[in-house]
Chains A and B, each alone.
Chain A
Amino acid sequence: MSSPGKSIVVIGGGVSGMATALVLAKHGRAVCLVEKKPKLGATLRGFSRCGAIFDTGLHYAGGLHPEGALTRYFRLLGLESLPLVEFNRNDFDHVRFIASGREIALPVGHEAILDTLCGHFPADRVFLRDYFKRLRNSFFSSAFLYFSTEFRAAMNEALHQESLATVLAKGTGDRCLRTVLSIHSLLYGVSPEETPFIQHARIAGSYLEGVKTVAGGGRVLAEAMEAKLDEAGVEIHRGVAVTKLLFAGGKDVTEVSLGDGRHISAEGVVFTAHPAFLPPMLPDGAVKPAFIRRLQSLEDTFSSYTLFGKSDSPIPALHGSNLFLCLEDDISRAFRPDCRAECGPFYISGSPAPHKDTSTDTDTAQRTGWGLTAFAPGNANECAPWAASRPGSRPDAYKAFKTRRLDCMRAVLLEHCPELTSVTFLEGGTPLTNRDFLDSPGCGLYGTKHSLKQFSPLPATRVANLWMAGQSVIAPGILGAIISAFVACGFILGMDTVRREIAACA
């Protein structure tokens, strides 16, 4: 039960913060959601430019088929009526290899994808059957993705894991096949050498079950969540940052200070922003120095250079399909520090599909072009000389550097993707853009790495009424962020209560 006059304060109004606030409010808790940006779900919303829509948080999602995990979580959050668009069942991800000239269209469904890959790589049939069996088993072993699995705390799986690269190297010598099987590592930003196979299986496995997105893109999802928060009576503070957690001399958080001088009396706090932002909020002595040191030492997922382009007509290759362009057959290179943006691999995604009812959707109704976003791995260190600069006041040397990088990237894309000849490139971003736009101190696209080389933060902390959620805690992406919210709420409301509720929402 809530304490009179006190709220659970949720720090960060992204997907995980909004989901956390919704679940707690639904259980009758008084909830305060604090977001330092002027709008909730800033990353999710993306932006419009020259009549085209660009998504920055949601490009496509797995687990949105009728029995899928994300479908169930959306239902629990009251988002079941969101309009969805299905990706191309025969070619939701298209992988193009320049060095070997291969074109591989990945279909939806484990069996279909297995058949396709056996056709392309007949010598690896036995390995592929074994690999997909293992992938399915790992996927179904998660109690948060497959709901009849008995619940276990995620932390029990921390040790004794093989990397994705090890599993692939043991199974096949074909670098091209290894790259196809690890192509989705670009969607969570950790190299196959560092990624625990089980983590990859749970992310890639969700795509293989069915691929959809929200009609209208991330903005529609953000607005739907915001409307639900209002309905649920969540008190929302936008455009103001939390500066300090106060402990009133005890071991628990009692109050939260805001940047505008206000204070919120706190029954508990769920922190959902990047983990590096938590230590400065904690007063000396609140936790042991070792915990602070660990949060500060977490490495971010990889960063990117990004190009935003517009075409006057839809680009068929990007309609219900994503294009992965690999100049070489070996994906591991993408994650090395010396990899340049023009070396790729590139992930290219089209604008969000519009609502059917455009009369209620002004942005879509006013759309005069079709957008695309192209990402290439980016090394944050390249931008180090300008790390002190902020958007709107970047030095000329940085601007020249950015133009050079993006020009090279654009030239490579146009050379190898004839589909893009009608595209006008409007804008671009560097790792520094990611840092400032995504509030990601290490410039990472998906929070901190879930890696064999570091321990991700856990939902429970050493402060009894302070919990953590967000992409860095359980898994990245929309699904990972939402699962982390439910797990954090499980610590507050009782894990059995939350699990029962998820299980009952079939």
Chain B
Amino acid sequence: MIKFAGVSKYFNNGARVLKDISLDINAGEVVVVCGPSGAGKSTLLKTINKLEHIDSGEIIVDGFSLQDSKTNLTMLRAEIGMVFQHFNLYPHKTAIQNIMLAPMKVKKLGKKEAREKAMSLLGRVGLSNKCDVFPSQLSGGEQQRVAIARSLAMEPKIMLFDEPTSSLDPELTSEVLDVMVSLAQSGMTMVVVTHEIGFACNVADRIVFMDNGEIVETGTPPDIFVNPQQERTREFMSRILHIPINNTPVEG
């Protein structure tokens, strides 16, 4: 479904944010990307719908090369949903208008049809009663659920999540994660940048651990969380799980 082949990207100052990334993600697979901040996780995610350009290598999504100028980018983007850390809802539109806009303007859906679809999606994320509310009047968790519904309205084949819960209070996190879990169970191809270990353990088929612009190792959740092969992975996991690193014995 998604194929990275030797992908590299440089910042203007010459620093390399992505180093020779190669990765295959299959249809229906749920992949969690984790790693320290500045590792290039979000950048990697945004190259999948070309919000970020790459300097070398190739990315193929659903059989279309993003580097091929013949590929219809807007069509392809419509098939890839994306959920952002800061929700990025349109502040001047109500919840339901946020959801209806793209189906009407990009897919040319009729207003009635778009509205029905938006209502059912709002129901799916548990916000039927909030359809005419502006984003500023919604809690963070509610905003993120509207944002997920907005992406789903385009009936995407792939969903990308860029730290969807990291700007939420802990008690609001679970309502968003619930939606994501049910989405994963429905067979959606998902790439998720997150530090939610519980979510990763339950739902992810594969964990990709990144550091310093490169993929350090990939594996099943137990492989990465319990039995990491690489020193850098081990160090990171112990830090986020608050487990002292066993191979640095404390001298008495």
Pair from one complex: no
